[in-house]
Amino acid sequence: MNLPAALFTPSWPAELELAYARHGERTTPVQRRHLGPLRVQKHLYAEGPEVCQHIIVHPPGGIAGGDRLDISAHAGENTWVQLTSPGAAKWYRAAGVARQDLRLRVDAGATLEWLPQETIIYAGAQAELHTQIDLHGDARLLYWDIVALGRPAADERFASGHFQAALDVRRNGKLLWHERQRVAGGDGLLDSPIGLNGQPVFATLLVSGEVDSDLLERCRELKIDGVRGDLSQLSGLLVARCLASEALKARAWLIELWRLLRPALLGREAVPPRIWST
């Protein structure tokens, strides 16, 4: 029996749709719809019933050309949702584009923390990531991303392929943060002092709210070997950036910032998810 070639495709689309509601003192998952290889593990309450933690799992372990990941999460009113991952996301060398679309909605009184581990872009990958975050009322957000270009430990520079990212954050429809990035393999900006300055890793942290000058200075004084970072206070949004020699060092810097900023801006001490230590 000869089946049409159109039935076979090397791409692997996946979807994950999450939603949460507040029931008494507990944040409860009320929707977990998935299609293809995207899942969440059992929800956890390491900090008590108010904070629901989910670990997003992509069982194939890597994203290849033609793959598309669609992830959405809706934190309902007065919920607290923390989303993380068990390990690095790996984007492999490919002849075609692979894409991830992330949509986060945070309703009034709710808090959402998006804290994935690093994204590794292999040389030759064609990775395109699009993120849209919508905040409503007094919703609170803490978001980070860590991008590693190439694999320096394997002597692999990001000499081909491309990484492209778009990030928009809105509150009540008003744009708070609008960013577009594109890094081409072998581009001069990889080594330029006005670009990545030879560092293979860059990271961003965004947190809603404003801090006083003393806390801002404490954050700026954080020192991690192999990391150069700084922070900017915008109206209603604090932005932190760094360049790093290794993804683990960039993550260590973000975690130390999180330890300082979470109590001040979100009102809760930072409790690192156990999955980060496994």
Model confidence over 222-267: pLDDT tens digits? 999 999 999 999 999 999 999 999 999 999 999 999 999 999 999 9
> What is the reported pTM?
0.94
Mean pLDDT of 165-173: 98
Radius of gyration of the chain measured on its C-alpha atoms: 19
pLDDT (tens digit per residue) in 131-159? 999 999 999 999 999 999 999 888 899 99
Average pLDDT in the chain = 94
pLDDT higher than 60, residue 212: yes
Mean pLDDT of 165-189: 96
State the pLDDT at residue 10. 62
State the pLDDT at residue 6. 43
78 vs 122, 207, 227, CA distance in Å?
Answer: 39, 18, 36
DSSP states along 25-78 = TEEEEEEEEEESS-EE---B-TT-TTEEEEEEE-TT-SB-TT-EEEEEEEE-TT
